[in-house]
């Protein structure tokens, strides 16, 4: 499906961007003077590429068709999952901007901490979000849509892509992504790398309760 192929390629670019965000945050923790302008670039990329260019297509062309045509599972997945997570990403970027503004006025450690927390929180939420789309949400759309719906979405995505390409959006933000990657390198998400993962049930204390009930 042309439109999900384009969106999966954008996921790969966003993963590269998030790798640079983590690497930059780690370098600040190691003592690099906080590069305010590069954090402003992170905000610009997050808003204009990850959000407008990518989430915009999902929300306006793909998810709306899933909710309208694929029943209660799609409704739950999109309205109570994906859209909530898009908003969480926006909230992290808002927090990042607020903390950066405060830091520029008064470079206190708490503002620096809030900057790193917002940037890393954004990277973690978006990494998990994209992984779910790649493995669950897009495959559901790809295997369930009729040919007519696929054609309609593909046409809309194609028109959006040519318009933004004429405006130079993709070139501009992919150059920014490469610049950040070349400057700071890449660090992968580490949350699922532990030898023994902590289950959600254990995180909510359910495991403990059931053991004590034995």
Contact of 123 with 49, CB cutoff 8 Å: no
Which segment (57-65, 69-77, 93-101, 162-170) binds Fe ion by CB under 5 A? Answer: 57-65
Cβ closest to Fe ion, residue 111 vs residue 127: 127
**Cα–Cα distance for residue pair 28/73, rounded to 1 Å:** 42
By CB under 5 A, residue 133 contacts Fe ion = yes
Please work out the total of residues on this chain that contact Fe ion, with binding judged by CB under 5 A: 2
Which segment (64-72, 89-97, 133-141, 153-161) binds Fe ion by CB under 5 A? Answer: 133-141
By CB under 5 A, residue 74 contacts Fe ion = no
Coil, helix or strand for 34?
A: coil
The size of the chain, in residues, is 214
**Cα–Cα distance for residue pair 64/59, rounded to 1 Å:** 6
- Sort residue 71 into left (φ over 0), alpha (ψ -120 to 50) or beta: left
Cβ closest to Fe ion, residue 114 vs residue 133: 133
Cβ closest to Fe ion, residue 120 vs residue 133: 133
Cβ closest to Fe ion, residue 65 vs residue 114: 65
Smallest gap from residue 196 Cβ to Fe ion (A): 30
Which segment (37-45, 53-61, 98-106, 117-125) binds Fe ion by CB under 5 A? Answer: 53-61
**Cα–Cα distance for residue pair 175/19, rounded to 1 Å:** 15
Q: Which residue has the tokens 């954004």?
A: 122
Contact of 134 with 8, CB cutoff 8 Å: yes
Smallest gap from residue 36 Cβ to Fe ion (A): 28
Q: Which residues bind Fe ion (CB under 5 A)?
A: 58, 133
């Amino acid at each position: 499906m042309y439109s999900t192929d384009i969106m999966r390629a954008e996921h790969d670019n966003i993963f590269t961007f998030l790798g640079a965000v983590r690497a930059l945050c780690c370098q600040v923790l190691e003592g690099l003077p906080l590069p305010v302008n590069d954090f402003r670039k992170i905000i610009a990329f997050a808003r204009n590429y990850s959000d407008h260019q990518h989430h915009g297509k999902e929300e306006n062309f793909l998810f709306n068709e899933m909710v309208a045509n694929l029943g209660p599972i799609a409704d739950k997945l999109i309205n109570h999952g994906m859209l909530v997570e898009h908003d969480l990403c926006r909230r992290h970027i808002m927090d990042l901007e607020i903390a950066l503004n405060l830091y520029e006025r008064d470079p206190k450690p708490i503002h620096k901490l809030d900057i790193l927390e917002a940037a890393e929180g954004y990277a973690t939420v978006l990494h998990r979000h994209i992984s779910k789309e790649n493995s669950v949400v897009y495959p559901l759309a790809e295997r369930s849509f009729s040919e007519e719906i696929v054609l309609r979405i593909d046409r809309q995505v194609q028109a959006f892509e040519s318009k933004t390409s004429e405006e130079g959006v993709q070139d501009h933000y992919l150059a920014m992504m490469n610049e950040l990657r070349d400057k700071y390198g890449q660090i992968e998400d580490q949350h699922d790398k532990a030898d023994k993962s902590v289950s959600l049930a254990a995180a909510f204390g359910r495991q403990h309760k059931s053991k004590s009930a034995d």
